[in-house]
Amino acid sequence: MPRSTHHFRRRLRLQLYVVVATLVSAALFAVDVSSPYRKDSTVPVHSEIDRILAAHWERLGLARPCEASDAVFVRRATLDLCGRLPTSDEARDYVAKQDPDKRRQLIERLVNSEGFIEYWSLHFCDLLRVKSEFPINLWPNAVYGYQRRVQHFLRENEPYDHFVKSLLLATGSNFRVPEVNFYRATANRRAAGLARAAALTFMGARSDQWPEIEQQRLAAFFDCVACKSTKEWKEEIVYLKERDTELVLTRPDGKVVRVPPGADPRQVFYDYLREDGNPYFARALANRVWYWLLGRGIVHEADDLRADNPPLIPELLDALAAALVTSGYDLRYLCRLVASSAAYCSASCPPPEYAQPDLAREHFAVFALRRLPAEVLDDVICDLTGVSSSYSSVIPEPFTYVPPEARTIALADGSISSSFLILFGRPARDDGVLAERNNGINGKQRLYLFNSGDLYRKLGRIGQRDDFKGRPFLQNIPALYWLFYSRPPTRDEYQLLRDEWSLQPGGKARWRFQQDLAWVFINTSEFLYQH
């Protein structure tokens, strides 16, 4: 048989495996299954957030959801809080641990880890449009300084309102004062463009959809901001225009305020954001954190807060915002609160007696499936295979040099990319809108996962991992499941692979079988989706 024909038939057989595995995996989340995915117990009600959710579900006639299994939860929380899969040892230890407080302990460990800083800086860099390519046009050294400022906010657990103040009131050199890059990271640097950026970033509001008069009123708070170049190449100074007259401005809530000569109108705008009862500031962050952890905002879309787009569960959003304010705008506290909630701990596979699974998903009684973000998926594949990714940029080195050991989630510059990241929906960071990121699955992505020679070569390294080398394949079956799925195989899964292994003639066929199996695993919904 010609080699090309043999390869084609082998590839075709593999794709059939993949299709079957994908269908089976997808079915796991649509029909009743036993543990590995859910517990028989319902989610407990511990906090005020849980009581609000339970009352809401009861009003809708929805039963309290089942808890996600321990294996699902450790995978879910590690991906959402640190942007990586748990190691096999981490997953095994967590599942085996007999401590009723272990979920709280896991969340606490994750939000205090370096992984949390690395991954959540990605979320905020998306919002803040951290990139050096047109139309944002930050210079690379400014980009890295800007990202480090975001990481400092997360590492020190700086109160969110203090961080926002440092951005809003910033003046100085874009090279020496990282915060001023908030003003430079906009395509439109006139007052109207700066106002739209501030409204979107800090209010979760799309002010470009407001009436023209309201847009003008908001822009007036930023008319004082200007930029000028220096003799240093690409350096710009953000400064306040001198003013010797009093300003009379109107806040978004309609209140008229007077700004004395020499005073900074941006301070007045910040004071408005921080006022008790402000309908945007704390609620915008609470809604985004809920979106990042559960895949859908309480207000949908998550950065479109307005009076005629009410939250799905108003009392829930109000409670989260109030908790954030009471905590002193502690982001980690908010993450702990959401990650411990009954909604976050619920299973993604409803029991068969659930009469309205779609309604339950919409109202957070069933955990919503979502594909892993592009950067996370890239890192996970690199972690599994031990093969680093390569990137490209229109900006020349050394400004865009990325060390081989760097993680994709840690890339500072949104202009540094790859065909994989573009294909899997990494945001361009042009607008700072959450909808720029696309975590859906499409045909081109499936073709890549089915047919990419680069991916297949990477997966050939699976068998060379230190934890697999020199061990019989049958002993590695549980290790493969822990590695890819953070759980052990079921009895039926183990028997299926054992039977298939026995049919392999030996030699290269068995080596290729292991490589093919890794490819099948990567193509399953259980691997590709957060669940």
138-167 per-position pLDDT tens digit? 888 899 999 999 999 999 999 999 999 999
Angle at 237 between CA 233 and CA 243, to 5 degrees: 150
Report the distance separating Cα 262 and Cα 314, nearest Å. 40
Residues 182-187, mean pLDDT to the nearest whole number: 92
Residue 514, domain member (yes or no) = no
For the chain, the average pLDDT equals: 89
The identity of residue 379, as a single letter, is D
Contact yes or no for 161/167 (Cβ under 8 A): no
Contact yes or no for 247/280 (Cβ under 8 A): no
Contact yes or no for 174/184 (Cβ under 8 A): yes
Q: In the numeric block, which tokens belong to residue 430?
A: 């042009």
User: How is 460-473 classified by DSSP, letter by letter?
Assistant: TTGGGSTTTTTS-H
Residue 232, domain member (yes or no) = yes
pLDDT of residue 455: 87
Residue 477, domain member (yes or no) = no
Relative to beta strand 66-68, strand 38-42 is antiparallel
Q: In the numeric block, which tokens belong to residue 38?
A: 């859910």
Domain that holds residue 255: 116-274
Identify the residue whose tokens are 């993450």. Answer: 335
Q: Which of 24-38, 118-132, 259-273 has the lowest mean pLDDT?
A: 24-38
- Which residues have a Cβ under 8 Å from the Cβ of 71 and sit 6 or more positions away? 36, 91, 95, 485, 486, 487, 488
Residue 306, domain member (yes or no) = no
pLDDT of residue 221: 97
Q: Is the peptide bond before 351 cis (omega within 30 degrees of 0)?
A: no
Residues 123-138, mean pLDDT to the nearest whole number: 87
pLDDT of residue 1: 39
Q: Give the residue, 305 or 396, on which the prediction is more confident.
A: 305
pLDDT at 509 over 80: no
Q: In the numeric block, which tokens belong to residue 136?
A: 């944002």
For residue 370, which phi and psi values (nearest 5 degrees)? -150, 140
pLDDT of residue 470: 67
Contact yes or no for 418/390 (Cβ under 8 A): yes
pLDDT of residue 24: 41
Identify the residue whose tokens are 């490819």. Answer: 519
Structural domain count, the chain: 1
Helix axes 102-111, 114-127, angle to 10 degrees: 60
Q: Is residue 403 packed enough to be buried (19+ CB in 10 Å), middle (13-18) or exposed (0-12)?
A: exposed
Report the distance separating Cα 142 and Cα 413, nearest Å. 10
Report the distance separating Cα 505 and Cα 493, nearest Å. 21
Identify the residue whose tokens are 């991992």. Answer: 465
Residue 264, domain member (yes or no) = yes
pLDDT at 5 over 70: no
The gap between the terminal CA atoms of the chain, to the nearest Å, is: 43
166-178 per-position pLDDT tens digit? 999 999 999 999 9
78-87: burial string, b at 16+ Cβ within 10 Å, e else: bbbbbbbbbe
Report the distance separating Cα 100 and Cα 371, nearest Å. 30
Q: Give the residue, 514 or 269, on which the prediction is more confident.
A: 269
Q: Which of 25-34, 294-303, 403-412 has the lowest mean pLDDT?
A: 25-34
Q: Residue 453: pLDDT band by 50, 70, 90 thresholds?
A: confident
Q: Helix or strand or coil: residue 105? A: helix
Residue 220, domain member (yes or no) = yes
171-181: burial string, b at 16+ Cβ within 10 Å, e else: beebbebbbbb
pLDDT at 197 over 90: yes
For residue 222, which phi and psi values (nearest 5 degrees)? -115, 5
Q: Give the residue, 475 or 51, on which the prediction is more confident.
A: 51
pLDDT at 112 over 80: yes
Residues 320-329, mean pLDDT to the nearest whole number: 98
pLDDT at 12 over 70: no
pLDDT of residue 498: 85
Q: Residue 15: pLDDT band by 50, 70, 90 thresholds?
A: very low
Q: In the numeric block, which tokens belong to residue 498?
A: 């054992």
The identity of residue 356, as a single letter, is Q
Report the distance separating Cα 196 and Cα 191, nearest Å. 9
Contact yes or no for 119/82 (Cβ under 8 A): yes
Q: Give the residue, 212 or 463, on which the prediction is more confident.
A: 212
Q: Residue 3: pLDDT band by 50, 70, 90 thresholds?
A: very low
Q: Helix or strand or coil: residue 178? A: helix
397-444 per-position pLDDT tens digit? 666 778 878 899 999 999 898 999 999 999 999 999 999 999 888 889
pLDDT of residue 9: 44
Q: What percent of the chain has pLDDT over 90?
A: 67
Residue 109, domain member (yes or no) = no
Q: CB 61: neighbour CB atoms within 10 A?
A: 9
pLDDT of residue 20: 45
Q: Residue 264: pLDDT band by 50, 70, 90 thresholds?
A: very high
Residue 216, domain member (yes or no) = yes
173 bridge partner residues: 237
Residues 276-302, mean pLDDT to the nearest whole number: 97
